[in-house]
Amino acid sequence: MSAAAHLSSEAAGAGQRPPSSGAAPVVELIGISKAFPGVVANDDISFDVRRGEVHCLLGENGAGKSTLMGILSGIQRPDAGQIRVDGEAVDIGSPRDALELGIGTVYQHSTLIPALSVLDNLMLGDTHKLRLDNEGARKRLEEIGSTLGVEVDPSARAADLALGRQQQVEIVKALWRGSRLLILDEPTSMLTPQAVEELYKVLSRLKENGLAVIFITHKLHEAAFLGDRISVLRRGQLIGTLDESAVKSATPDQLEQRIVDMMFGDLAPSLAGAAELKADLGEAEQLEAVQAEPAPVSADEALTLERVSVRGEGSEPGLDDVSLTLRMGEVLGVAGVDGNGQRALAEAISGQRKLQRGEVKFLGAPVGHVGVTGRQKLGLRYLTDDRLGEGLVPGLPVSMNIFLKLIGEAPFWRQGRIRKSAIDARSKELVERFDVRTPSIDTRAGTLSGGNIQKVLLARELSFDSKVVVFHKPTYGLDLKTTQTVRQMIRDMRDGKAALVISTDLDELLEVSDRIAVLSRGRIVGEVKPGPGAAEEVGRLMIGDVSLGAAEGAAA
């Protein structure tokens, strides 16, 4: 009891002072630098956050955002620079120090322990007493929950909660010991649109309660929508901070334009890559315009699913009597809330899951009995969403990962012996063509950034006579520039190939697909053509056929 009382009084104390924006910063970073072998992750960064504000930290993947937050939360130590909390220089040597200084962090990857209950997860690390204080913790959860407008079942297992709900628990956990600064690292990357809405609500309540929030993101519109101040990081350097007056006075469009300029370089024209991206963005818009006209779709059936049923796995549903047709030269999108049979669909097509009923036809010929390798050789490829798991072998070099599915085949292998020269030559060519940013083709693939890992996988799946490719969440977690590149590659599939894009990002599907099929609880519940009103129509289908329980999960 005493522990809880102590904590709550601390929180109440923080709430008494009225939120004032011009106040002294809660936390200041001065001249922070951090280098890893081969990369300068943070270069002389100064940055601060005040009470009652959301300070957005924006940057591409690999810009150094996560390193900076790692330094604040005690996971990393800076090589140089100073951190001040309430004006006093502090040394944050461990996560414990950070918590004691009132810095709570919600990490990009969940730190909840799936097998434990919500309450156990929250109590973890309270080492004031030997005995777990269940009652106190329950009260504390209720108290923080009501402040945030969040209700969580304390005895539910963390693994059983929807992702959005899990994140709410993470936020409660970060505030558990009376934090005054909350750091959120890419909090929306795993969430459904509804859950993002809820997160925004929670954030505004936090602001009202006088907390300082650092919101890390690579999504422009989020920063523009949420930020009281916005700072932009690029290649380890802080390019600039838009202060409150600048953020408030600009219209959303102006603001996004200014941020794009900061991120990609009109303010620093010497940096390469900026013009390229602008061109990419421009091109994307043009293509959208082009896409409005119906693309010429040939009559040849590339891929057909005839009344396919497969078993689900764990809590994920399988497929129930799904029929789909994808024609050559077409991009077919599959929309749906995550966990409605997407994985089952992808794996039924790739051959990784056995069909219970129905048939899969590839170029008119049934392939239901053909194995994974056989289908690959025919030109039916699958770009997995589990990039680090089934996607690649992190410990093998980039070149071997590109050839992972061709092991033993001529001309890259001869009589069981590897022909390194052939592999290296082809890998170099592909790395260049797909613009994989890697120190060399011998670099271990696991050390690359997420965007570059995806490019390695794309190089593998789109080359070597691919005809039809299933893309599963192709741009999930990627930065803006890579996202545009990948979407362009998908559009390029129209040229003589075909693509099935399974994604939870509706904007993406609207942008790239000719048709959008909607998957709900393992069934195709409808089909929509992109155009005015398409998003609402898809949304209606996504929710419409869903019974109450699943709808709740979607909203959470």
Partner 1 sequence: MSSIFHQTVLTALISGGIVAGVPLMLTAIGETISERAGVLNLGLEGMMLVGAYVGFIGAYYGHSSWLGFALGAIGGMLACSFMIVLCVWLGLDQIVVGIAITLAGEGITSVLQQAQFGTSYPRLGAMGEVHIPLLHRIPVVGPAVFEQHLLVYLGVVLVFVLVWVFRHTNVGLNLRAAGEKPEALDAAGVSVTGTRSYAVLCTGALAGIGGAYLSIIGAGVFTPFMTQGQGYMAIVICMLARGRPAWVLVASFLFGICLSITTALQLAGINISTDLVNMLPFIAIMVALVLFGRRSYLPPALAIPYVRGAR
The distance of closest approach from Cβ of residue 157 to partner 1 in the complex, given in angstroms and rounded to an integer, is 12
Q: Applying CB under 8 A, which of residues 54, 58, 63, 99 lies at the interface with partner 1?
A: 99
Quick one: 299 exposed, middle or buried, by C-beta within 10 A (0-12, 13-18, 19+)? exposed
Q: Is 417 in the site for partner 1 (CB under 8 A)?
A: no
When asked if residue 93 is in the footprint of partner 1 (CB under 8 A), the reply is no
Beta strands in 317-446 (DSSP E): 319-327, 331-335, 357-362, 365-366, 380-383, 413-414, 417-418
Choice from 33, 111, 189, 325 touching partner 1 (CB under 8 A): 111
Determine how many CB atoms are found less than 10 A away from the CB of residue 369.
10
Minimum distance between the CB of residue 39 and partner 1, rounded to whole angstroms?
14
Selected range binding partner 1 among 85-93, 116-124, 198-206, 417-425, rule: CB under 8 A? 116-124
* 486 is a site residue for partner 1 (CB under 8 A): no
The residue count for binding partner 1 (CB under 8 A) is 31
Dist CA 400 CA 305 (whole Å): 33
- Closer to partner 1 by Cβ: residue 131 or 417: 131
Kindly state the tokens that stand for 263. 């991120």
Give me the least distance between CB of 531 and partner 1, in Å please: 42
* Interaction of residue 1 with partner 1, rule CB under 8 A: no
Phi, psi of 319 (to 5 degrees): -110, 145
Binding mask 125-164 for partner 1 (x = CB under 8 A): xxx-xxxx--------------------------------
Distance, in Å, from the CA atom of 120 to the CA atom of 122, rounded to the nearest integer, reads 5
Q: Please state the closest distance from residue 444 (CB atom) to partner 1, in A.
A: 11
Please, which residue, 158 or 490, has the CB nearer to partner 1? 158
- If the CB atoms of residues 132 and 290 are measured against partner 1, the closer one turns out to be 132
Find out whether 216 and 233 touch, Cβ atoms under 8 Å.
no
In the range 31-70, which residues lie near partner 1 by CB under 8 A?
Answer: 70
Residue 50 bridge partners (DSSP): 25
Given 358, 446, 450, 539, the residue binding partner 1 (CB under 8 A):
446
Rounded to 5 degrees, what are φ and ψ at 349? -75, -40
Q: Does 445 bind partner 1 (CB under 8 A)?
A: no
**Contact flags string 172-191 toward partner 1, x per CB under 8 A:** -x------------------
Distance CA(410)–CA(406), nearest Å, equals 9
287: amino acid identity, one letter = L
> 351, 317, 352: which is closest to 337 by C-alpha?
317
450 binds partner 1 (CB under 8 A): no
Segment lying near partner 1 (by CB under 8 A), choices 49-57, 104-112, 269-277, 468-476:
104-112
Q: Is 107 in the site for partner 1 (CB under 8 A)?
A: yes
58 contacts 217 by C-beta, under 8 angstroms: yes
The answer to whether the beta carbons of residues 264 and 282 sit under 8 Å apart is: no
* Residue 95 to residue 76: CA distance in whole angstroms: 9
Q: Please give the Cα distance from 405 to 457 (Å, whole number).
A: 11
Nearest to 321 by CA among 32, 537, 519: 519
Cβ proximity to partner 1: between 99 and 516 the closer is 99
- Residue of the chain from 42, 61, 76, 304 that contacts partner 1 (CB under 8 A): 76
Specify the residue, 124 or 422, whose C-beta has the smaller distance to partner 1. Answer: 124
Give bridge partners of residue 229 from the DSSP assignment: 55
Sign of CA dihedral 242, 247, 249, 254: positive
In the list 124, 250, 363, 378, the residue contacting partner 1 (rule: CB under 8 A) is 124
Q: How far is the CB of 136 from partner 1 (least distance, A)?
A: 12
* Piece of 39-47, 88-96, 142-150, 304-312 that binds partner 1 (CB under 8 A): 88-96
Q: How far is the CB of 137 from partner 1 (least distance, A)?
A: 11
Question: In whole angstroms, what separates CA 30 from the centre of its chain?
Answer: 29
Select from 387, 381, 383 the least CA-distant residue to 450: 387
Q: Which residues pair with 237 in a beta bridge?
A: 234
The site for partner 1 (CB under 8 A) is made up of 70, 73, 75-76, 94-96, 98-100, 105, 107, 111-116, 120-121, 123-127, 129-132, 173, 446
